Every structure is written in structure tokens, then in C-alpha cells.
Amino acid sequence: MYGIVVAINVGIFAILALSVNIITGYAGQPNLGQASFFGIGAYTTAILAGKYGVGFLPSLIISGFIAGIVGLLLGLASLRVRDDFLAITTIGFNFVVVAIFQYVPFFGASMGLSIPPLKLFGYPVGYVGLFIIILLLMLLVILFTKRMERSWIGIALVSIRNNEEAAESLGIDTRKFKVISFGIGTLIAGFAGSVYAYYMGFIMSYNFQFMTSITILSMAVVGGLGTIAGPIIGAIVLGLAPEIFRFVSDYRLLIYGAILILMMSFQPQGLVGDGSIFANIVRKLRPKTSGVDQ
């Protein structure tokens, strides 16, 4: 029972870390407001399912798309402001969204919103069922990211991240791909929010604060931006850290802060990023099949 709750939490945050990875990892656009899209997804589901009795699948899809559309709008803003300005704009966006959830009565204001228990085909879905749904969703996101990595979108995105001017001079419309990456990344966060709403049964603006955005981005960075395994490993490591360090529960945040500082100081590319200790070990263990080695 306790194990499955932890697993669900880690799973949801793994999806979120993967989602921010598309924006920050692949397209290189800093995003410190991902929790707001997570929140937009969760609130959309809470309103659809809680107030209008809409079923699971429609709620999930609509939630994703609403988050994605708002994300596209923020992506448009990213064309006007760059780098550090964009980072702060996304922080600001997060605060404004949370303030709206907290003060507008339609969104439950300080009372929050409740969501009816999840039912599929008339049967209630328990924690195990919810976890399976999360794993399926995560699998979809992983498959999608893999495809994207290999397709022309992925190549364009990575070239934007590495050198925007060079990419532009090669005729890549960097503006279009930046906005697309925002749209996709926030759409996925909206899906995660929808599932989260069903899992929690009750949501408040508090769940989607700036700190949550930091947690999501930290997971992706600690694991390794621009990789698929990285955000998942980051979500597992940082998601389990509070559970593992439960015996020193009073020092959990202190340890969390220390992990971030140490990781960034000694392994800034993340646990599995290019040139990290872990990646080097894997490369050495792997038998050489081709003569070409980077």
C-alpha cells in the first residue's frame, strides 16, 4: 500500500521530468514553470470530472490539450525573450497561474477542488490500476521522445540547443521548433496533471507551486538533460530520497539542497548525461561491436 503510493508519485514526476526535458533538454529553453501546466491539467480534470461528470479518457485528453494550448502561448512569449529573461518569465507565469487558482472562486479558491474516484468501464480503479495507467502513459512519452529524437524535429531541436545562430543559418526555422517544443512538453505535463488529480482525489493551488516546478526541473537536470533515461533516473533518485532519508526526516530538505549543490558542482551533465561517471562506466562495459568510438 505504502509502496504503491510512492511508486505512483515517482511515476507522475518521471512523466513531468520527461516533459520538461523536451523543452529544456532538447530545445534548450529554460522552463521553471512546468508545475503550472501540471496544475492546468489537474484543474481541468477536476472541473470536467468533478463538476460536469466527464469520463476519464475525455478528461485526460482535454486536460492535456488545454495545458498544451496555454503552453503554446508561453512558447510564443519565448520568441520575444531569451535565456535568463525566459527563465524568469516562466517563474512569473507559475506564480500568476497559482494565484488565479487560489483566488478565483471558479477554481475552488482556497478550498480546492475534489475529483470523484476513477472508474473505467463502470469499475473503480484502485492504486494498482492507477499505477498501470501511469506506466502506460510513461511508456507512450518515452516512445514519443525516442521517435522525436530520431526525426527531423529532434535534429532541429538539438541544433537549436547547441547553436541557435548556426541552426538559423542552415535554414532551420528555430522559432517554429521552440514553440512546438513548448506545446508538446506542456501537453504531456497536462496529461500528468489529469492523472494526478484522479490519484489525489482533491487538489489545491499549493500542489502546483514554484517549488514543484523546481523539483521537476531538478529531476531532469540531476538525471541528465537531453537524454531519455536521465529524467526517469532523476525522478527515481530525487523522488525516493525523501523516503530513503526518512530516518533523518528532519534533515530531508537539507539533504535535498546538498544533493543539488553537489550534483551540479561535480556532475553538471547529470547522472547519465554525456561524460558522466555512470555513462563512462556503461561505455567501458559495453563490448566494442564497431570500430568507431566517440
Binding site residues, another protein, CB under 8 A? 24, 28, 30, 32, 77, 80-81, 83-85, 87-89, 91-93, 95-96, 99-100, 102-104, 210, 214, 217-218, 221, 225, 250-251, 253-254, 256-261, 264-265, 268
- Helices 56-80 and 83-103: crossing angle, nearest 10°? 140
Q: How many CB atoms lie within 10 A of CB 44?
A: 23
* Shortest Cβ 55–another protein spacing (Å): 33
* Shortest Cβ 40–another protein spacing (Å): 16
User: ∠ CA 198-200-203 to the nearest 5 degrees?
Assistant: 100
| C-beta of 92 vs 126, nearer to another protein | 92
* Shortest Cβ 77–another protein spacing (Å): 7
* Shortest Cβ 23–another protein spacing (Å): 11
Q: Could you give the 3-state DSSP secondary structure of residue 147?
A: helix
| C-beta of 47 vs 221, nearer to another protein | 221
What is the distance between the alpha carbons of residues 105 and 229, in angstroms, rounded to a whole number? 41
* Shortest Cβ 225–another protein spacing (Å): 7
| C-beta of 169 vs 265, nearer to another protein | 265
* Shortest Cβ 257–another protein spacing (Å): 3
Quickly list DSSP for 231-286: HHHHHHHHHHHHHHGGGGGGGHHHHHHHHHHHHHHH-TT-SSSTT-HHHHHHHHHS
Q: For residue 206, what is the enclosing H or E element?
A: none
| C-beta of 157 vs 217, nearer to another protein | 217
| C-beta of 210 vs 278, nearer to another protein | 210
| C-beta of 193 vs 234, nearer to another protein | 234
Cell numbers at 88, concatenated: 524568469
Cell numbers at 122, concatenated: 463502470
Burial code of 64-75, b = ≥16 C-beta within 10 A, e = fewer? bbbbbebbbebb
